Structure 1
C-alpha cells in the first residue's frame, strides 16, 4: 500500500476530513475510554520520552489528556492539541482536578499551527494514528521538533486486539477518503520507520501489551465501545436501518471480545511504542 505524499492532499479534502473526524470523536465519550480502559498508557509514553521539568512538549491528538496531563505533572511545559474542542475541554477539567497546568489548543495533525523546532518532545498516544494521511502527519511531527529532540508515539498494532477490532468494523464502515491509510499501520514498525525516514535517527521500537481488566465478556466490551468509542459509533450509524447488518456486527464484535478474554478475565491489547531522535 502506497503512502500518500503531502502535496497530493487537496485542501478541500483535508477540510472534509477534519470536519468528519471531529464529529466522529465527539459522537461518543472518549474520556470514558481513556479513564476506564487505558488510563496508564499516556504515562508509559511520557516515561519512554524521558519528559522532565522544563521540557517543551507537544501532545498531538491529545484527546482528554491521557499523556498531556502526566507530562505536565512531570514538570514539562505542555501544549495539548486535538481536533476536538469537546475533548480538549474535558481535558481541561481533568487537568484542574489533578493540579496540572498546561495549554489546550485546537490543531490538526496534518497541519500543526506551531513553528519549526518549537518543541523538545513531540508525542502522541493513540492519537496521530487516526490522521488518515500518514506521511503528512509524520512530516509535521518531525517539523515541530527541534534537532536532537524526541518524537514518541504509541499506536495499536495491526494484529493486536484493537487492530482486529478495526478489521472487524471495516466491512461495515463507510469507505475512507481517497488516499487514506488504516490507523493501525502506525503500529507496524516498518511503516513508521518509512514514514519518519531520514528526518530521525536512533529509532527504538517495541511492541508491548496493555492489560485491560474492564470487561467481563465480549458483550460487555461491545456495548461499552458502541456507547463511547467514536469509530464504532460511526460504523453503526452508517448502517442506518439495516438491522440484519447491525446484528451481524454485534455478533462479530462480541465474539472478538470473547476470544480475547484470558482465563483470569483480562485482555492484552498490543501496541507499538516508538521513540526517535529528530535529525
Structure 2
C-alpha cells in the first residue's frame, strides 16, 4: 500500500498583500455603511432632494417594461419614480438600513420594486442585464471611482442608457465637503473626493471609450427650507451622515467643533442665507450616455 501525502502549496508573494487589501476594503465599506446609516438621510432626501429623482428619470427617458437599476439608491428618490413609469426596478445600496423608509414610500406611492443590498464597486448582477443604470447623488460617494464607473457600464446592456446626477465641486455641497475637509481624517490611499463626479473632465476620463452619446449639463436645485446659515448647519449636523461623522471625529476638541460650526454657518451665509427666507441654489451635473 502506498502512503498518500497531502501537501499545501506555499502562498504566493502576492497573497498576503491581496488579503490585506481585501480586509481594508471591507473595513472601509463597513465605515461607509455606518456613516450613511447614522442620522436621518431618508428625511433629508425627502425634505431637500426628492425632485432630483424624477429629473434623472425624465432625462434618461425611462419607459414601461424596461429593466432599471438604481445604484446607491438610498430611500428611492430615483427608483420609485422609475417604477411608477412602469419599469421593472432594482434599488441597490450599500446601506440597507435606508430601505425600510424606501419600502414605505414606495407603498404609499403605489410603486412595486426590488430592494437589494449591493456595493456599487462590485454589483451582484450579470453583464448587460439592465436597459438603464441610474444614480442620483449616490455612486459619487463610492470611494473608488474607476471600479464604480466600470460597474455602471458593465451591467448596462449594449445600447442601454446610463444616467448620473452628482453635486459639482463648485456648487454648495461641493463647497461644504471642502469646508469639512480640514476637520476630517485623511482618506485612505486611492479614495477620491465625491464631488469629482460633478466635474465634466473627470467623468469623461471615467467613461472614455466605453459609451456613446455622452451628454453633460449643469443644473441647480432650488432649496428654500433654511433662513440662516446656522439653521442649515444644524440640520446637516442632525441628518447628514458625512457631517455627523466629521463632528464625531472632533467631538473631544471644543475649539475645533466651534471652528467647524463657524465654517458651515459662514458657508450658508455665503450661499445667500441672510435671514430673509429667499431660496438658495445647489449646483449639480447631469450626465447621460449609452453603452
- Under TM normalisation by the shorter chain, which class is it? over 0.9
* Alpha carbons 2:227, 2:277 under 8 Å: kept: no
Q: Distance in 1 between matches of 2:184 and 2:47?
A: 25
Secondary structure (helix, strand or coil) at the match of 1:112 reads coil
* Equivalence map 1:7-22=2 (5 Å): 10-22=21-33
**Cα distance in 2 for residues equivalent to 1:230 and 1:142:** 28
Q: Which structure has the bigger radius of gyration?
A: 2
3-state secondary structure, aligned to 1:10:
helix
Answer yes or no: is 1:275 the counterpart of 2:275. Answer: no
CA distances 1:105-135 after superposition (whole Å, capped 9, x unpaired): 0000010000000100001000000001000
Q: How far does residue 264 in structure 1 lie from its aligned partner after superposition?
A: 5.9
Matched, 1:166 2:203: no
The answer as to whether partners of 2:67 and 2:130 remain within 8 angstroms in 1 is yes
Report deviation, 1:97: 1.1
User: What do the CA deviations read for 1:10-37 (whole angstroms, capped 9, x no partner)?
Assistant: 3222211210000000111001111101
TM-score (norm 2): 0.91
Whole-angstrom CA distance in 1 between matches of 2:230 and 2:251? 21
Distance of 2:22 and 2:85 partners within structure 1:
38
For residue 153 of structure 1, give the secondary structure of its aligned residue in structure 2: strand
1:57 is paired with a residue of what secondary structure? strand
2:58 maps to 47
Residue equivalent to 2:224: 213
Aligned to 2:11: none
TM-score (norm 1): 0.95
The CA deviation string for residues 126-152 of structure 1, in whole angstroms up to 9 with x for no partner, is 000000100000000000000000000
Unaligned runs of 5+ in 2: 1-17
Structure 2 CA distance for aligned equivalents of residues 96 and 227 of structure 1? 27
Say which of 157, 182, 195 aligns to 1:184.
Answer: 195
Give the alignment's Cα RMSD to 1 decimal: 1.3
The corresponding residue for 2:91 is: 80
1:235-250 → structure 2 map (5 Å cutoff): 235-250=246-261
Partner of 2:3: none
Q: Quote the residue 2:158 is aligned against.
A: 147
> 1:148-170 CA deviation, whole Å, 9 max, x = no partner?
00000000000000000000000
